[in-house]
Structure 1
Amino acid sequence: MNPNRRLLPSLAALRALEALDRLGSASAVAEELSLTQSAVSRQLQALEAQMGVGLIQRDRKRLALTPSARDYLAEVRPALNRIAQASLSLQVKPAGGTLNLAILPAFGMRWLMPRLPDFARLHPDVTINMTTQLRPFSFAREPFDAALHFGKTDWPGTDALLLRGERVEAVGAPGMLPQGGLPQARDLLRRPLLHIQTRPDAWQDWFTAHGVTLQGPLPGTIHDQFSTIIQAALHGLGLALLPEYLAEQDLATGRLRRAHGGPIEARGAYYLVWPHEKARDPALTTFRHWLAGKAEPEDGLPR
């Protein structure tokens, strides 16, 4: 008998454990998995018995994962995701292969998506599955073949293709700014500023580029995506520092105004990155060669 066999728990039990962590109640788990609550409970009890470790905290009204179970699930969940993705790929079986791509939400929607119809026309046999990811991750632990990345080419274990640089400009709603913007860059410090989590030094760089020396950190609200920052700026909640490709439509229609000056070069650039071991994957190779033809830092953006 294989001594590791007892350490390979039932996939159904692992699905129940993962769903309980995500949904928070046995009734929600039962509904998602099309089981009864008693069946869910039996699966969880069987998993505890097999592992010899308490995984569930039980009281009269709810079930919750123990700290040990949460640590265990953090290791198991990427494997479950990979199994699900591999199963989907097996069912679809595209002739040209499948590319599982992690995208940045704003750049993926506004830069990549308008160009994808051309890829679909040229390579209809390649399937591209896309998932939003805001930060770098471990390719070994997540089911992605490649990712869109903003920053530097310092992602460990990967190769990279430069897609485009970035220029940013300070903008705000007309109610916050006079026509033509504020006369001095320092005047922006009298307005609330909107910050994005993934680029904590962006405003610092902007003020430095305009000759303003700052004392201490800049106040303001912090957001995780450009989409929320744009909405906050449009509603007059603060001044935003936006990439040109995100600001230009609202500037053209007058929904936003330039706060001061024009665009400046940002630190970092957009890249396609992929792990070394995926470099010869046929679907990735096809996509990478096509994307190289679109990687022009100053190309005109399709609308």
Structure 2
Amino acid sequence: MSLMCLEASARLRSFTAAAQELRLTQGAVSRQVQTLEERLRVKLFTRRREALALTDAGRYYLGEVAPLLQRLERATANVMALKGRGGELSLSVGASIGSYWLIPRLPAFTREHGEITLNLGTRVGPVDFSATPVDASLEFGDGQRTGLHSEFVLPLILSPYAAPAWIAAHGAAVDANTPRSALIHHQTLPGAWDEWFAREGIAAEAGREGPRYDIMSMALNAAVAGMGVALLPPYMSDDMMASGRLRRLSRRKWRYAKGYYLVYPEESAQMQSLQVFREWLLAQAGDI
């Protein structure tokens, strides 16, 4: 209760307003905050006549506990509404694998598990679960996440692709004559082209580097637009191949050292919604 009083008082900047929201007396809210301050041995608020203001310690502490309060509120609402059957699952997912691999498969999950509401957000890089109110993450990495569960889901398989118009102008191969300026990069795999040429035993031409994009889907769209050659996985390129917008420039497939993992903290491990989603997700990956 003291944490709820802290959060409401900070958000509303008033013990009186917090008391009205929490259906307590103003004195009860004030005492809860005072007890918390005594336990922590720091002042959380500067008490002014016009409004409350968080101290530096108060801002730091609230920033740490706010995600936990949000998860607690969501879990309570789920149990009350669904009696523990299903509920919500908040998942962070990489933009490219989320848009091109996961979301096209989600209608099947919804049909099978209509009792679960799956909320998706996206970010670049690994999730900081202490600062982000999500239950799990489908993320790209090496699976080494200290203190977290990390289960392998999918490999990243790469091949070079380009638009038919680009191929007509520059040729249907990626070799020593391919200018560096034609190689499209994305920050997910910053050294991928150098590794590709090394694996193929090709002495790549020196010169100006090609464009760089933050995420793989941007590299895909740049390749489709005829801006050069991109290393892409089948889950992004297959539809573009089928529609004739991209062509593969090599029969070789390269399995990148990193892959996609389902990552979650210990406190999420017993969530029924996560257990159901995990089983479904691994089955989907196993069918590929």
Question: What is the TM-score with the length of structure 2 in the denominator?
Answer: 0.72
Specify the code of the residue in structure 1 equivalent to 2:51: A
Which residues of 2 match residues 112-261 of structure 1 at below 5 A? Answer: 112-178=102-168, 181-183=171-173, 185-213=175-203, 219-261=209-251
**Cα offset for 1:7?**
7.6
Native 8 Å contact 2:177 2:205 kept in 1: no
What is the match of residue 39 of structure 1?
none
What is the match of residue 11 of structure 1?
10
**Cα offset for 1:275?**
1.4
Q: Does 1:46 align with 2:37?
A: no
What is the match of residue 99 of structure 1?
89
Residue 177 of structure 1 aligns to a residue in which SS? helix
Specify the code of the residue in structure 2 equivalent to 1:290: W
* CA distance, structure 2, for counterparts of residue 5 and residue 78 of structure 1: 13
Deviations 1:165-219 (A, max 9, x none): 1211111222322399544522333542221112212212211121124698972
Native 8 Å contact 2:181 2:209 kept in 1: no
Specify the code of the residue in structure 1 equivalent to 2:94: L
Distance 1:111 1:7, change over 3 A: closer
Gap runs ≥5 in structure 2: 14-47
What is the match of residue 281 of structure 2?
291
Distance 1:5 1:103, change over 3 A: closer
* CA distance, structure 1, for counterparts of residue 277 and residue 69 of structure 2: 23
**Cα offset for 1:261?**
4.3
* CA distance, structure 1, for counterparts of residue 51 and residue 95 of structure 2: 40
Which residues of 2 match residues 269-284 of structure 1 at below 5 A? Answer: 269-284=259-274
Native 8 Å contact 1:147 1:274 kept in 2: yes
* CA distance, structure 2, for counterparts of residue 214 and residue 79 of structure 1: 51
Specify the code of the residue in structure 2 equivalent to 1:12: R
Deviations 1:219-259 (A, max 9, x none): 22221122222222222222211111111221222212223
Deviations 1:141-171 (A, max 9, x none): 2111111011211122222222221211111
Gap runs ≥5 in structure 1: 15-42, 54-67
Specify the code of the residue in structure 1 equivalent to 2:217: S
Residue 166 of structure 1 aligns to a residue in which SS? strand
* CA distance, structure 2, for counterparts of residue 8 and residue 253 of structure 1: 53
Distance 1:227 1:252, change over 3 A: same
Which residues of 2 match residues 26-41 of structure 1 at below 5 A? Answer: none
Specify the code of the residue in structure 2 equivalent to 1:143: P
Aligned-residue sequence identity (percent) comes to 30
* CA distance, structure 2, for counterparts of residue 144 and residue 241 of structure 1: 31
User: In angstroms, what is the RMSD of aligned CA positions?
Assistant: 3.5
* CA distance, structure 2, for counterparts of residue 282 and residue 97 of structure 1: 8
